[in-house]
Chains A and B, each alone.
Chain A
Amino acid sequence: KNEVEQSPQNLTAQEGEFITINCSYSVGISALHWLQQHPGGGIVSLFMLSSGKKKHGRLIATINIQEKHSSLHITASHPRDSAVYICAVVRGPPDKLTFGKGTLLTVNP
């Protein structure tokens, strides 16, 4: 069993829909990242959180440390949100990342 599990693996939505991607982990962590990866490889960190909730524009990330679970929400989804979203947990030191396999999101116009 992977230490970091994401669901769903693939998600197709219509523009404007509310999106939720889930991440569960089985190890103790100091923080959790949500990352976005576009075709071609570039990875961008969206959020790093260790408790509670963070919001940036249309993106919201929550984490429940007791339940070892995090969610990434996208409100009013747009085709430009289409990408792979990856959950990664921080176990430190040395604070290396352990990644989930990613969720491929496709938002159709």
Chain B
Amino acid sequence: DTGVSQNPRHKITKRGQNVTFRCDPISEHNRLYWYRQTLGQGPEFLTYFQNEAQLEKSRLLSDRFSAERPKGSFSTLEIQRTEQGDSAMYLCASSPGGADTQYFGPGTRLTVL
């Protein structure tokens, strides 16, 4: 297994467009996390899945954001009607479960023009 992968690595879009990111976790990892990191800041928690169930969402996740993890495998994060403030690195991490080490993907860098 090659670790957590994310696609695309970079996305440039115009304000108002919709974008979708994909995360493929390490096989058999039950937990999947999405984080967002803006320039010069540490990452911030967005949402979390235990298998296919989305169990917690941050207040940072406005109604324009939606995340899914069908069948408990890969996950998608969609942002509708993007705004310039959405420009950030979107990071995905997975873990086997419990208080285990989280393994991070390389991230998707979003630039909204």
Using CB atoms and an 8 Å cutoff, list the residues of chain A in contact with chain B.
4, 30-31, 33, 35, 40-45, 48, 50, 86, 88, 90, 92, 94-102
Contacts and interface: CB of A to CB of B under 8 A. Distances in A.
A97 B40 contact: no
B108 to A, nearest CB: 9
B95 A96 contact: no
Contact of B99 (A4, A30, A44, A101): A30
For A31, A35, A90, A96, which residue has the most chain B Cβ atoms within 10 angstroms? A96
Interface stretch (B16-24, B43-51, B61-69, B74-82): B43-51
A41 B103 contact: no
Contacts of B56: 94, 96
B102 interface: yes
B95 to A, nearest CB: 7
A88 B31 contact: no
Given A42-B107, A102-B42, A97 B102 contact: yes
B2 interface: no
Contacts of B107: 41-43
A90 B99 contact: yes
B91 interface: yes
Given A42-B106, A43-B104, A31 B42 contact: no
B60 to A, nearest CB: 12
